Chains A and B, each alone.
Chain A
Amino acid sequence: AQSVAQPEDQVNVAEGNPLTVKCTYSVSGNPYLFWYVQYPNRGLQFLLKYITGDNLVKGSYGFEAEFNKSQTSFHLKKPSALVSDSALYFCAVRDPLSGGSNYKLTFGKGTLLTVNP
């Protein structure tokens, strides 16, 4: 079974500082990993994904994520946080070896990022 853990319910950073939102995963094979962002009263928006290749993935709004197979992690990062980055962030995983036609994404519980001015 595939699972995702986001160990921090909340992350607070000052504007202009780097930010990291942590994610670890568990799958039986090589994972497909995703990050989504949810603004208040909105749906989830796709930020970036890792499928294969370069461990550092760049996505929307200046975000990037680093895949670390040995640590089973896929942390989301941004060099300089903006107040407008304040939102709920979800990490998700799909196990490409999962049986049948199950293409679901399994999500973590989310991390609330607050960027203080």
Chain B
Amino acid sequence: DSGVTQTPKHLITATGQRVTLRCSPRSGDLSVYWYQQSLDQGLQFLIQYYNGEERAKGNILERFSAQQFPDLHSELNLSSLELGDSALYFCASSTLENRDRTGELFFGEGSRLTVL
């Protein structure tokens, strides 16, 4: 158990809908990362938050947004869903401080999104 909790584990919805994925990082971790895993694209970095602030953006669509709350949990919002958004969405956390880049990421079990 990595200590990172993601909900829901599975989600089935229709095209055009909006969903919210939730992530609770490991106790004490300030950084949260979101990744999308699909068969054709592999693991794609979406976005990173550190202590409530956005720190880096990757291949995140404009229809997607995220935030990190004062209690450090994070939510990934996916809107106007398309069939191609079906994927496994992972949250990861770390204790990285501003200058320490040596730490590994700890991943949750993922949220599997199916868009029909």
Residue numbers of A with Cβ under 8 A of B are: 32, 34, 36, 42-46, 49, 51, 90, 94, 96, 100-110
Contact = CB atoms under 8 A, between A and B. Distances in A.
Contacts of B4: 43
Contact of B104 (A34, A90, A100): A34
Instruction: Specify which of A34, A100, A105 lies most central, judged by the most chain B CB atoms within 10 Å of its CB.
Output: A105
Interface of B is mostly: strand
Interface residues of B, number: 27
Interface of B: 2, 4, 31, 33, 35, 42-43, 45, 48, 50, 55-56, 58, 90, 92, 94, 96, 98, 101-102, 104-110
A36 to B, nearest CB: 8
Contact of B56 (A43, A49, A102, A109): A102
Interface of A is mostly: loop
A104 to B, nearest CB: 5
B52 to A, nearest CB: 13
Given A49-B104, A110-B42, 13 more contacts: A42-B110, A43-B108, A44-B107, A45-B2, A100-B55, A100-B56, A101-B98, A104-B48, A104-B56, A105-B33, A105-B105, A108-B42, A110-B43
